[in-house]
Structure 1
Amino acid sequence: MRLLLLSLAICFSSLLAAQVGGLFTYEFLNFAPSARISALGGTHIAVLDDDINLGATNPAVLNPLMHQQLSFSHAFHPGDVQYGYATGGYYHQKWQTTFSGGIRYANYGTFDLTNNLGLVEGDFKAAEYGISIGAGRQLAERLRGGINLRFVTSRLESYTSTGIVADLSLLYQDTAKNLVLTMVARNAGRQLSTYREGNVEPLPFELQAGISKRLRYLPFQFSLVYRYLDRWNILYDDPNSTETTLLFGDVDTEQSDTEIWFDNFARHFVFNGELFMGKKDNFRLRFGYSHLMRKELSINEYRSLAGFTFGAGVKINRFRLDYGRTNFHLGGGVNHLTIGTNIKEFR
């Protein structure tokens, strides 16, 4: 436990200054790994159940219920961009530790290769991959900890890069109150080789905190995630914008300092909820909202569902099927599908 806390502190202190502002490499690591997470706002870290995909965003949730779970997810992005994640879990009884292994991929398709006059001379492809192993275990009566290690490789035309990334997390669970609190340091690491010699780029490090609560007398679970604990100002100042879209689409032409503060504060949060139906929660309805996504992807002149997500999940025989929809922009959204099963159910 002390070692995990120390590791969190070291990663936070060493990467905080390097990750404020600017652009990051390996942004595909922030894609939602499963349809369930897509439907719940794209960020979901504070739930502890048998879903092996949750370990990709918070390794502390890895638990014995995930033993021999297998899952495969694929997302259809606009512009024929393809993204997916495959993972499996294993509980080692002697070590009292749950392990996971997974691979995520992002295929950006084929592009025209042109010269400086715009003449097409051929084509090229772009893709990125991340191979990960994770471990999570009980540290104390109500405290869990976990770590993910991920090797990343990226190829964009003739430019290649590799990197090593880690996720570290702690989770507190109160089973009597159906309450979960957690903190996650995501994407801490560095490039091992760069696209251009000497040009080291920052990784999308992020410190997150989350809370979830399942209601006692209603089959409903809500979750709240606070993103970017490592930096306060995440506003984007668009010099071409004369209007500002406030929470849930209201438009304001001028903002006071108080409104600017509230707008920035709201961008840190992801809200979501999950409704369970059936005797064994075999059918689930989900929704989520990210104010940051809505602010960055909305068009002032048009109302849209940018920032809102929804989906559903159903278990049929030995398989669980999930669908998630993320509304990025008027120009298109992402449809996400996941199929999962447990090897034990086939015996």
Structure 2
Amino acid sequence: MPKSFSNVIRFLVVLYFYCGMASISYGQIGGRNAFGFTSMAFEPHVSSLGGMVLGQTTTSMSGMDFPSVLQNGQKEVNIGYTSLYGSSSAFAVQYIMPHKRLGVLQVGTRYLTHGLLDRRDALNTYQGKFSANEVDLYAGTAFTWENYRFGVNVHGLIGQLEAQNSLGLAVDFTAFWEDSSGLTTMGFALRNLGGEIIPYAGKRRATPTDLQFGFSRKLKYLPLRIHCTLHDLYRWNLRFEDSLTSNSSNLFGLPEDQSIGGFGKFTDNFFRHVNFGLDINMFQDKFWFALGYNHQRRMEMAIPNRNGFAGFSLGFGMELNLWAFGYSYAKHHLASGFHGIRTTLRFHKKAKNSVEN
């Protein structure tokens, strides 16, 4: 464990500059990393809140992406499935168990498959089928220090694309804080710090590293919790100028070319870093309903003047003592969205998460 909070801050500052230097040479947003599926939200509750949550205390979030919420004595099995575009789909299996030395330990796997694809040559001649799959084998734990809950995940990554294979390694560092009333929470995450050990071909590529900060506030007299998560904090420009979509609408619903000078681009770029979520918990937290908005997703998947509900997401779930279920629908594009489900079987009595556990 860290000896002092100053040591933790110093360590995080070094990681921050490492992330910034690793990305400074890139001008585009996507398509440059290996194992991009590791940035997906595999948990329905997280997906329904826009895909990123760092300040949530509910047990419907298992710690797959944010291990700081793991609790000592926790013992459960989580199984999830996400339907993606076309024949692509994702599966997740997670086991959380008590550990004598660590307090709590999670192990699991996340599997992405694109099914069977057509193999064709330069003349578009059909040459049979091939498969494309990626696997994440991970383990993680969490510990409490003063009023903070720290977590770490280690990922072993395997990729297979036709006859090409890749191996990678990545790590997550997270921190969580909750005030004494439980109304306000804050979280920090450095996700997917790593890269390929054995590349598919050519030079090694980094995993999609992301530096995130999030907070939430629960209303005192209403069953509502508001979430706000900031992501990609080590780089400012998340815009990608594309002449084919130059007429798409900005945050205010105006065509991009009618924005007020540089102010329109500034606000658009700023809100691409922000993820919003609204959580409704009812019947003593036994039922939840969530809404989310991801502005970056909306703008990157935009069709000129026809965005529809791209970037919005919703979900619901039940939380019982020994069993839980969640469903989410995230609209990624005008044409389609992602459906996600998860079921949980607990071997411990459900309890409210706290950094003091």
The TM-score normalised by the length of structure 1 is 0.92
Q: Following the alignment from structure 1 to structure 2, what is the Cα–Cα distance between the partners of residues 248 and 337? A: 33
Q: Is the 8 A contact 1:52 1:71 kept in 2?
A: no
Equivalent AA in structure 2 for residue 168 of structure 1: F
Aligned to 1:24: 33
Deviation at 1:5, TM superposition (A): 4.5
Runs of 4+ in structure 1 deviating by more than 4 angstroms, as ranges, are 2-7
Q: Is the 8 A contact 2:273 2:296 kept in 1?
A: yes
Cα displacement string for residues 146-168 of structure 1 (whole angstroms, at most 9, x for unaligned residues): 11100000011111111110001
Aligned to 2:93: 86
Q: Percent identity?
A: 24
Deviation at 1:105, TM superposition (A): 0.7
Gaps of 5+ in 2: 350-357
Q: Secondary structure at the match of 1:247?
A: coil
Q: Following the alignment from structure 2 to structure 1, what is the Cα–Cα distance between the partners of residues 256 and 195? A: 41
Of 222, 227, 240, the residue aligned with 1:236 is 240
Aligned to 1:336: 340
Of 178, 190, 205, the residue aligned with 1:201 is 205
Q: Is the 8 A contact 2:140 2:153 kept in 1?
A: yes
Q: Secondary structure at the match of 1:344?
A: coil
Q: Secondary structure at the match of 1:47?
A: coil
Cα displacement string for residues 132-179 of structure 1 (whole angstroms, at most 9, x for unaligned residues): 111111111x11111110000001111111111000122221132521
Equivalent AA in structure 2 for residue 97 of structure 1: G
Cα displacement string for residues 275-298 of structure 1 (whole angstroms, at most 9, x for unaligned residues): 0111x3111111000111111112
The alpha-carbon distance between structure 1 residues 129 and 149, as it changes in their structure 2 partners (threshold 3 A), is: same
Matched positions, count: 340
Matched, 1:277 2:282: yes
Q: Following the alignment from structure 1 to structure 2, what is the Cα–Cα distance between the partners of residues 238 and 41? A: 24
Q: Following the alignment from structure 1 to structure 2, what is the Cα–Cα distance between the partners of residues 330 and 49? A: 31
Matches within 5 A, 1:174-253: 174-176=179-181, 178-196=183-201, 198-247=202-251, 249-253=253-257
Matched, 1:38 2:44: no
Q: Is the 8 A contact 2:93 2:109 kept in 1?
A: yes
Q: Following the alignment from structure 2 to structure 1, what is the Cα–Cα distance between the partners of residues 107 and 61? A: 10
Aligned to 2:56: 47
The alpha-carbon distance between structure 1 residues 4 and 158, as it changes in their structure 2 partners (threshold 3 A), is: farther
Aligned to 1:57: 65
The alpha-carbon distance between structure 1 residues 342 and 317, as it changes in their structure 2 partners (threshold 3 A), is: closer
The alpha-carbon distance between structure 1 residues 86 and 5, as it changes in their structure 2 partners (threshold 3 A), is: farther
Aligned to 2:263: 258
Q: Is the 8 A contact 1:245 1:300 kept in 2?
A: yes
Matched, 1:99 2:105: yes
Cα displacement string for residues 8-61 of structure 1 (whole angstroms, at most 9, x for unaligned residues): 3443333321224351111000111111111110111211232353x2222222
The alpha-carbon distance between structure 1 residues 249 and 297, as it changes in their structure 2 partners (threshold 3 A), is: farther
Matched, 1:166 2:171: yes
Q: Secondary structure at the match of 1:78?
A: coil
Gaps of 5+ in 1: none
Matches within 5 A, 1:135-150: 135-140=141-146, 142-150=147-155
Cα displacement string for residues 274-329 of structure 1 (whole angstroms, at most 9, x for unaligned residues): 10111x31111110001111111121232400000001112467321111000011
Q: Following the alignment from structure 1 to structure 2, what is the Cα–Cα distance between the partners of residues 340 and 127? A: 25
Q: Is the 8 A contact 1:152 1:163 kept in 2?
A: yes
Equivalent AA in structure 1 for residue 34 of structure 2: T
Q: Is the 8 A contact 1:309 1:327 kept in 2?
A: yes
Equivalent AA in structure 1 for residue 120 of structure 2: T
Q: More displaced, 20-29 or 7-16? A: 7-16
Q: Is the 8 A contact 1:52 1:69 kept in 2?
A: no
What is the aligned-residue RMSD (CA, Å)? 2.0
Q: Following the alignment from structure 2 to structure 1, what is the Cα–Cα distance between the partners of residues 252 and 327? A: 24
Q: More displaced, 304-313 or 182-191? A: 182-191
Aligned to 2:138: 132
Q: Is the 8 A contact 1:52 1:62 kept in 2?
A: no
